Amino acid sequence: MKKKEKSKKKRKAGSVVLTVILIICIVVFCVSAYHLYKIMNNYHKSNEEYDVVQQEVVEETDDGFFVDFDKLQAQNPDCIGWIRFENLDISYPIMKGTDNEYYLHHTINGSYLYAGSIFMNYQNASDFSDMNTFIFGHNMKNDSMFGLLGDFKDKEVYEKNPCFWIYTPEGAHRYDIFSCYVADADEDTYTVYHGQGEAYDKYVKQLKENSAYPIDVDVDGTDKIVTLSTCTAEGYDYRYIVNGVLAETIPTDEQ
């Protein structure tokens, strides 16, 4: 009789343990599902917002790609340009704030979303007059923002996308890519140079040498460059870098 009672107690205890484990699993699943929903909803809102902006201010025809900066800057005067790759799904307004924090997680319309904006280093001149200008963007898992920038690790991607365009109220500017590589976030890569000189000349040569693969594009200390930067899977302290040298400018009245 006692053995039967002990057996019942064991089965009951086992049933309680299984029930507790099941409840924990359900809670973990629900919490995970909720977080996944928040992430996916965040992605959706960000994509939707930028799609609307593009529809309102961009006109793409056989004659070219045109941005209505009057409309764009009426939405937000912090918008100083537009970046676009011809064969990659990267086409966004470029923002510039008073620091490098706000637009990390705020969109052009001021919405707080993880994807944030593509934005210029606040220490750079808004008119791209510095010798080197930095543009940052998140490496999003759905490939939005600068999520495709890391694909340049593959030289075939570079060969299909040897340049990118930056549009400003003054005109369209083509930048030929001359270097792609992973950099330490604390490296001299992020030094801003406002004018020419021996230090800048050495800096440009170093960027060229840093490239993960050879690129046949000439660049020296007299050239203006733009550095695109995003996070990378290599770790928190690393960034993926794509450097472009100004190769062509088409004034707005000639477009």
Report the candidate in 160, 175, 152, 155 with the shortest Cα–Cα distance to residue 239.
152
pLDDT value of position 62: 77
Between the alpha carbon of residue 155 and those of residues 21, 96, 164, 238, 251, the distances in Å are: 50, 31, 16, 20, 31
Containing 201, the helix (H) or strand (E) segment is: helix 198-210
Q: Average pLDDT of the chain?
A: 87
pLDDT of the residue at 33:
46
The CA distance from 75 to 62, in Å, is: 27
**What does each C-alpha distance from 226 to 106, 134, 165, 244 come to in angstroms?**
22, 6, 11, 5
Sorted by sequence, the CB contacts under 8 Å of residue 14 that are 6+ apart come out as none
- Tens digit of each residue's pLDDT (9 = 90 or more) over 29-61: 555 444 444 455 555 566 788 989 989 999 988
Q: Which two tokens stand for residue 148?
A: 């495709």
Please report the pLDDT score of residue 181 as a whole number: 96
Distance CA 97, CA 76 (A): 11
Q: In the predicted model, is pLDDT for residue 6 greater than 60?
A: no
Angstrom distances, CA of residue 121 to CA of 11, 71, 168, 189: 65, 23, 16, 13
Nearest to 172 by CA among 182, 164, 160, 161: 164
Mean pLDDT of 63-80: 94
Q: Which residues are catalytic?
A: 138, 231
Whether 132 and 222 have beta carbons less than 8 Å apart is answered as no
pLDDT higher than 70, residue 190: yes
Task: Please tell me the predicted confidence (pLDDT) of residue 36.
Answer: 46
Mean pLDDT, range 114-131, rounded to an integer = 96
- Measured between alpha carbons, how far is 220 from 201 in angstroms, rounded to an integer? 6
Structure tokens at 11: 């089965």
| Cα 80 from Cα 52, distance rounded (Å) | 18
- Ranking 9-13, 50-54, 89-93, 98-102 by mean pLDDT, the lowest is 9-13
Tokens at residue 57, please?
A: 């201010």
pLDDT value at residue 230? 96
For residue 127, is pLDDT > 50? yes
pLDDT digits (tens, 9 = 90+) for 191-211: 999 999 999 999 999 999 999
3-state secondary structure of 128: coil
Percent of the chain with pLDDT over 90: 67
Phi-psi region of 64 (alpha: psi -120 to 50; beta: other; left: phi over 0): left
> How far is it, in rounded angstroms, from Cα 255 to Cα 63?
8
Q: Is the pLDDT of residue 94 over 90?
A: yes
User: What does the pLDDT average to over 213-224?
Assistant: 97
Give the per-residue pLDDT at 252. 83
Residue 3 corresponds to which tokens in the numbers above?
């053995």
User: Is the pLDDT score of 11 beyond 50?
Assistant: yes
Domains in the chain: ranges and CATH: 50-254 (2.40.260.10)
